[in-house]
């Protein structure tokens, strides 16, 4: 019995808890590595590039995975963005509008220069495919962090 418990403990430690996550949460792409843009996020996110921008395809497509409560800062894209939700439950909000609950299969089309944020629900992992549109001229402008009041949709 001790041997089984030790094996289970080491497996969980070495996989970062992926066994626990996989029972409730499956996504079609790799989780990836720690997001190099995490300084523009609250919480931890992971990035897996599916297609780098280049001169042939003019497209940047990535799988982004959010731990529960993780979210982007407010930001905008000069060329817009499309999100394809692949797993979990998330949130999306445009400045001045109520937040939307996002579930697997949802598509979010974000117009040019619209301030917004997106991320995981408080109690769920969340993944989406991010498609940067209108490249090569699409630039992301990162703004202030989303406050807990904004995230939890509390009245000011």
Residues 104-137: tens digit of each pLDDT: 999 999 999 999 999 999 999 999 999 999 888 8
Q: In the chain, what are the domain boundaries? A: 27-151
Give the global pTM. 0.82
Residue 65 has pLDDT above 70, yes or no: yes
The answer to whether the beta carbons of residues 27 and 127 sit under 8 Å apart is yes
Say which CATH topology domain 27-151 has. Jelly Rolls (2.60.120)
Alpha carbon distances (Å) from 31 to 51, 79, 108, 111, 145: 15, 26, 20, 27, 23
**Residues 6+ away with beta carbon under 8 Å from 116:** 74, 75, 76, 92, 93, 94, 95, 110
Q: Is the preceding peptide bond at 136 cis, omega within 30 degrees of 0?
A: yes
The answer to whether the beta carbons of residues 78 and 87 sit under 8 Å apart is no
Residues 131-156: tens digit of each pLDDT: 999 888 899 999 999 999 999 987 54
């Amino acid at each position: 019995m001790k041997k089984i418990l030790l094996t289970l403990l080491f497996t969980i430690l070495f996989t970062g808890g992926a066994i626990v996550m996989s029972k409730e949460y499956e996504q079609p792409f790799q989780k990836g590595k720690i997001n190099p843009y995490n300084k523009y996020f609250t919480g931890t996110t992971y990035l897996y590039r599916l297609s780098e921008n280049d001169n042939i395809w003019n497209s940047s497509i990535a799988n982004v995975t959010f731990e529960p409560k993780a979210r982007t800062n407010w930001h905008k894209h000069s060329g817009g963005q499309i999100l394809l939700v692949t797993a979990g439950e998330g949130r999306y909000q445009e400045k001045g509008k109520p937040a939307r609950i996002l579930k697997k299969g949802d598509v979010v089309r974000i117009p040019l220069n619209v301030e917004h944020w997106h991320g995981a629900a408080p109690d769920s992992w969340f993944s989406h495919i991010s498609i940067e549109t209108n490249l090569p001229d699409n630039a992301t402008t990162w703004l202030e962090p989303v406050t807990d009041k904004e995230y939890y949709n509390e009245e000011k």
